[in-house]
Amino acid sequence: MKAKLEQIKAEALEALKNVSTMEELDGIRVKYLGKKGEITAILKQMGKLSPEERPIVGQVANQVRADIEASMGEASSAIKEKLLEQRLKNEKLDVTIPGTEVLAGHKHPMTIVLDEVKDIFVGMGFSIAEGPEVELSVYDFDKLNIPEGHTVREWQDTFYITEDEKVHLRCQTSPVQVRVMEATKPPIRIISPGRVYRKDEVDATHSPMFHQIEGLVVDKGITMGDLKGTLNALVAKLYGPEAKTRFRPHHFPFTEPSCEVDVQCFACGGEGCRVCKGEGWIELLGAGMVHPKVLAGCGIDPDEYSGFAFGIGLERVAMRRFAITDMRLIYENDTRFLSQF
Ligand code: DAH
């Protein structure tokens, strides 16, 4: 029996030399030390031994068990160490490997400029109004003092929704003026940014879809002085306090008097260069005192109230602001262009 125990021990220790996983180690534990294991099987036969032999064999059995357990403990530590080593290897962090670039989005140059203009006007007490892009010709033309047959309708030819040309994509943001005046009583101070559409061919300075910001102020005693002060403040904020403006007489059917506002060329300071095409000035926006007919048509008494209005092309502001020379870049979504902002 003693010999058998020694043999079991030798076998177990040999088996332990080759274990490499915890599962294998567990298998050995069950096989040799378990309730149905080989040592237990021997101990069950102890009854057959003489009383003198029993303690001796018992002692040997305990020693064998202790030796196997000790060996298993060592094997277990070795396996754990190996597993840890493997884990450390797998989870190794190589700080010299180039990182994965996280591409964060950012504002489009048009949005940057739009937000700036909005901030400037909100700071002056204006609120933001919205109007539909699919507009009735009554709002886009008739109520703006552009009756049927007026030549302006041809210049501003747009995309028609109905055959009778009474519903179309708006060609300007000016109809929002009418919608606001019909819906609210003065005092009115709004700007209205949005898309507008014209039958223009795409080139470096034209697009069939572009953006305008409409502005409207109506109150008692509003004069051309308010118009000039407001637009000068806008230019100063956009282009710096030294920026010079020029107000030129012009004609718009819905304002009287009307003007165009130029800003002195930022590139040459008024000398004349390629950017301003030798003019020294760059056209920025159209404006004027709201025509009495337009006020009256919206139910506002022109004898009691007066107002001024203006319309800014947002692409132009962005192009000047960022020295963009081709309008198509604004719409093409080329990241080589957009990533510069
Ligand atoms: N709607 C005009 C255009 O598209 C711009 C404009 C001029 C708007 C004068 C105005 C204004 O409100 O008063 O060319």
Q: How far apart are CA 170 and CA 160, in angstroms?
A: 9
Which of 167, 157, 138, 116 minimizes the C-alpha distance to 320? 116
Residue closest by Cα to atom 6 of ligand 1: 311
Give this prediction's pTM.
0.72
pLDDT at 308: 98
Q: Which residues on neighbouring strands pair with residue 217, listed in sequence order?
A: 189, 308
Residue 162: DSSP 8-state = S
With H, G, I as helix, E, B as strand and everything else as coil, classify residue 88. Answer: helix
- Pocket-testing residue among 188, 310, 317, ligand 1, by greatest number of atoms within 8 A of Cβ: 310
| Cβ atoms 312, 284 nearer than 8 A | yes
Specify the pLDDT at position 46.
82
Length of the chain measured in residues: 341
* Residue 92: predicted pLDDT: 85
* Helix residue ranges, H only, the chain: 2-17, 22-28, 38-44, 53-90, 109-123, 137-140, 151-155, 175-183, 224-239, 292-297, 314-322, 328-332, 335-338
**Which of 157, 209, 254 most suits a substitution to test ligand 1, by most atoms within 8 Å of the C-beta?**
254
Cα separation values, 197 from 142, 164, 201, 212, Å: 18, 18, 11, 10
Task: Say which residues have a Cβ less than 8 Å from residue 159's Cβ, sequence separation at least 6.
Answer: 168, 169, 197, 199, 208
Mutation test of ligand 1: which of 144, 145, 174, 255 has the most ligand atoms closer than 8 Å to its C-beta? 174
In sign, the C-alpha dihedral spanning 113, 114, 116, 121 is: positive
Percent helix, strand, coil in the chain (nearest 5)?
Answer: 45, 20, 35
What is the DSSP secondary structure assignment for residue 303, as one 8-state letter? T
Residue having the nearest C-alpha atom to atom 8 of ligand 1: 311
Ligand 1, residues at Cβ distance < 6 Å = 172, 174, 214, 252, 255, 286-288, 309-311
Atom of ligand 1 nearest to the CA of 311: 8
**Positions of the chain with pLDDT lower than 70, given as ranges:** none
* Tokens representing residue 72 in the block: 């298993």
